[in-house]
Structure 1
Amino acid sequence: MTQASLEAADERARRDRLVAIALMCGALLCFACLDTSAKWLNRYMDPIQTVWVRYIGSIIFVAALINPATHPGVLRTNRLALQLGRSLLLFLSTILNFFALRYLQLVETMSILFSTPLIVALIAGPLLGEWAGPRRLAAIGVGFIGVLVVTRPGIGGLHPAALLSVAGAVCYALYSIATRVLAAHDSSETTMVYSGFAGVALTTPIIPFVWSAPASLMVWLMMFAVGAFGALGHWMLILAHRRAPAPILAPFIYTQIVWMIALGLIVFGDVPDGWTLAGAGIVVASGLYLLYRERVQKTPLSQAAG
């Protein structure tokens, strides 16, 4: 290739990375709006109904883009039990988070959820054989101290619903591990199709018993928003990862806490206390350090030396 061609290729790659980062930030804004809409809806309906709306929206969106007509054989999977288990873990994480949102601020639930990379790094050893070294173990320990600073168990800290967020983070970590395992067996399209199965299958039979008819147009709009924000966020996430590798995008996950603080303040008038902000900062710093160690370990020695 000529020098001009190389420069043009570098410029396209740089532009793709910038677009991917913008898409990633947009997806995270959608997810923050999703949680905000869910918390608002919890005032008017059972969280189970909110979860059902969220999954119905996701299923409709995914089915419109990925179905047997557009992707023949998409429903065939080499690991059916793991696909269903992964879908169940995503559902458990979602419903635990939505119930926690009834009692906690947006930034509080998000600060706890940010412990997910720490949990993944800790359990990847026994489950995947990817054992953490002493530096990563130290970062994990510091991160969990950050979670304790946010929750402050036993010293008049958060509402006990914080335990729901902790359980949700554990479920999401196991969901992430399952996603990594499935990547070697099924296509991303197949995995995405199966993602919402458990949520719809488990909540639909319960809906007649918990259904609350929307009392106003605003409630209808927020119900639509829950489904739309979830679907749009995942779509933007897919587009982002098509344009740039995960290590480039991963650090931007933590921008979501900015959206959570802003939306919590604007919509609910929630002002996070110093403990929550300090704990969130510790968790974020630990997560970023783990990402850094991941990149260092995957960098070839020749490149690292340069």
Structure 2
Amino acid sequence: MRSTPCRNRPTPRWPRRRGGWRPGCARMPARPCGWRAISSVCRRGPPRRTKKMAKVRTQRMAEPATRAPDRGRNRPGQLTYPPPLPKRGACARHRPRALQPLRASSGDRMTASVAETRRLLLGIGMATCAVALFGLGDALTKYLVERQPIERIAALRYSIGTLMMLAVLAPRMRGRLWRISRPWMVLVRSLTLAFATLVMGYTLRLMPVGETVAIMYLAPFAVMALAVVLLGEKVTKTGWLLAALGFAGVLLIVRPGAALNPAGVGLALCLAAATTGFHLITRVLTRTETPIALLFNANLVGAVLFTLAAIPTAGAPWPTLFDTGLMVFLGVSFIIGHFLFASAYREAPASLIAPVNYLHFVWAALMGWALFGHVPDGVTMIGMAMILVSGASIAVMAQYMSRPPR
């Protein structure tokens, strides 16, 4: 008596798409369950396939799996030549086994862990170098504004940044470098940054570098408070307590007995207000614009605006060769710092990079001590430490709260 044929009988299906021969059964017997073989293809088995065809088939049939760093034939975390999905009514003999990825060996896991640690350290190192360049740039700005007009320094700084971006990024990105969807809002952001740069120059004429940058970092706390009203964001009680700690640190820095210039303190608070507006506009624009386009347009608008503003200062004494070299280095250091900070976010998560940004005024205070011999007093250093701890904690909390639930 002839047995009932199996519904999962392997039928030879010749090249389908780019996957090559596709069997209908995992074991490929010649005559299973009384079914007569159509040809000798089943006895010979599937045709010989190349590694490229196997890779295409693996990616098409298997679920997304983690790739191991090695390039071997059997990669941990991937499937090698997976059997087809089981059909209804297939017998136990020809029912394919469940698709299970290969387990990574202990050596592969150790290699992946070491590589991930190196990437994290590289990202943190790049962010630290970026904020160190920003602190050095602030100290050089204080040195230069005492000898040259601020408009001339800013014009050279933004012009160098624009030319460097055109030389490095324009051949690869072309129109994407300057293409934006909301030009008026981008223009307002660029004008706000130019105003903050101008106020920063006048503030550094009257204030030490460390105290100026520390007061400027009042902006993240103001952004957090205004984002609740303007952007509808939510802040926890811990966030409000940390913001209050940061405000208290600023009050310790600008206390009446701190021997700071009152006009300089007022300009520093104005700088913090301009920085707050700049960050709020940036938070809205990042939903539709790319960071590279925002950076390029800000440099372009700043270069044009400060070049026009520097024309009336043509009668001022021209800088020496040393001062000119410092101004060129200032522009190069700021643009390299921005590139390093952007690259750091590609190597490490934002929860590790965002707190590093608060080392900016620490580097600024160190540069001010190295170049000008100014050392903040004990109470001012306590205020700086309070701003550093509260700002870094808020940055870490914001990154963890923004993660989607698992």
Quote how far apart the aligned CAs of 1:6 are. 4.4
Q: Does 1:72 align with 2:181?
A: no
Counterpart-to-counterpart distance in 2, 1:163 and 1:198: 26
Match of residue 223, structure 1, among 317, 327, 339: 327
Distance (whole Å) between structure 1 residues aligned to residue 118 and residue 165 of structure 2: 28
User: Residues 145 and 215 from structure 1, CA distance in 2 versus in 1: closer, same or farther, beyond 3 angstroms?
Assistant: same
Q: 2:350, 2:399 within 8 Å by CA — same for their partners in 1?
A: no
The answer to whether the Cα contact below 8 Å between 1:113 and 1:168 also exists between their aligned partners in 2 is yes
1:273 matched residue in structure 2:
377
Which residue does the alignment assign to 1:135?
238
- Is the contact made by 1:115 and 1:143 (CA closer than 8 Å) also made in structure 2? yes
Q: Which residue in 1 is equivalent to 2:365?
A: 261
Query: CA offset at residue 113 of structure 1?
Result: 1.7
Instruction: Pick 1 or 2: higher relative contact order, CA cutoff 8 A, min separation 6.
Output: 1
Instruction: In structure 1, give the amino acid aligned to 2:388.
Output: V
- Shift of residue 274, structure 1, vs aligned partner: 2.1
CA RMSD of aligned residues (A): 2.0
Q: Which amino acid aligns with 1:268?
A: F
Whole-Å separation in 1 of the counterparts to 2:116 and 2:162? 33
Offset at residue 243 of structure 1 (A): 1.3
Alignment TM-score, normalising by the size of structure 1: 0.90
| Runs of 4+ more than 6 Å apart | none
Structure 1 CA distance for aligned equivalents of residues 164 and 216 of structure 2:
25
Q: Structure 1 unaligned runs (5+)?
A: none
Structure 1 partner of 2:28: none
Question: How many angstroms apart in 2 are the aligned matches of 1:175 and 1:197?
Answer: 16
| Displacement of 1:275 | 2.8
Q: 2:200 aligned to 97, 101, 113, which one?
A: 97
Structure 1 residue identity aligned to 2:385? G
1:76 match: secondary structure: coil
Counterparts of 1:46 and 1:233 in 2: how far apart (Å)? 24
How far 1:156 sits from its partner (Å)?
Answer: 6.4
- Alpha-carbon distance, 1:32 to partner: 1.0
Matches within 5 A, 1:147-186: 147-152=250-255, 157-159=259-261, 160-186=263-289
More displaced 10-residue stretch of structure 1: 12-21 or 132-141: 132-141
Instruction: Output the CA distance in 2 between the equivalents of 1:188 and 1:207.
Output: 28
> Aligned pair 1:246/2:350, yes or no?
yes
80-89 vs 292-301, greater mean Cα deviation? 292-301
Structure 2: unaligned runs, 5 residues or longer = 1-76, 78-102
Map of 2:209 onto structure 1 = 106
* Counterparts in 2 of 1:299 and 1:205: CA distance versus 1, 3 Å: closer
Match of 1:3 among 98, 101, 104: 104
**2:337 is matched with which residue: 233, 253, 257?**
233
**Which SS does the other structure have where 1:204 is aligned?**
helix
Q: Kindly state the Cα deviation for residue 107 of structure 1 after the two structures are TM-superposed.
A: 0.7
1:288 CA drift (Å): 2.1
Give me the whole-angstrom Cα distance separating, in 1, the residues matched to 2:247 and 2:198. Answer: 23
Q: Which amino acid aligns with 1:3?
A: A
The structure carrying a bigger helix percent of its residues is 1
Contact 1:20–1:240, Cα closer than 8 Å, also in 2: yes
Contact 2:355 2:396 in 1 (8 A): no
CA distance in 1, matches of 2:344, 2:405: 28
Query: CA 1:156 to 1:190, structure 2 compared with 1: closer, same or farther past 3 Å?
Result: closer
Q: Give the SS at the match of 2:288.
A: coil
Tell me how far apart the structure 1 counterparts of residues 113 and 364 of structure 2 sit (CA, whole Å): 35
Comparing 50-59 with 104-113, which one deviates more in the overlay? 50-59
Deviation at 1:54, TM superposition (A): 1.6
Query: When the two structures are aligned, how many residues end up with a matched partner?
Result: 300
In structure 1, how many angstroms separate the alpha carbons of the residues matched to 2:140 and 2:249? 27
Q: Does the CA contact (< 8 Å) of 1:119 and 1:173 recur in 2?
A: yes
Is 1:283 aligned to 2:387, yes or no?
yes
Q: Single out whichever of 80-89 and 191-200 deviates more from structure 2.
A: 191-200
Alpha-carbon distance, 1:185 to partner = 0.8
2:157 is paired with a residue whose SS is helix
Q: How far apart are residue 41 of structure 1 and its match?
A: 0.6
Paired with 1:166 and 1:77, the residues of 2 have a C-alpha distance of 31
Q: Distance in 2 between matches of 1:296 and 1:98?
A: 36
Indicate which of 228, 235, 239 corresponds to 1:125: 228
Percentage of identical aligned residues: 26
- How far apart, CA to CA, are the structure 1 residues paired with 2:216 and 2:267? 10
Is the contact between residue 114 and residue 284 of structure 1 (CA under 8 Å) also seen in structure 2? no
Amino acid aligned to 1:172: T
Would the alpha carbon gap of residues 243 and 156 (structure 1) be closer, same or farther in structure 2, given more than 3 Å must change? closer
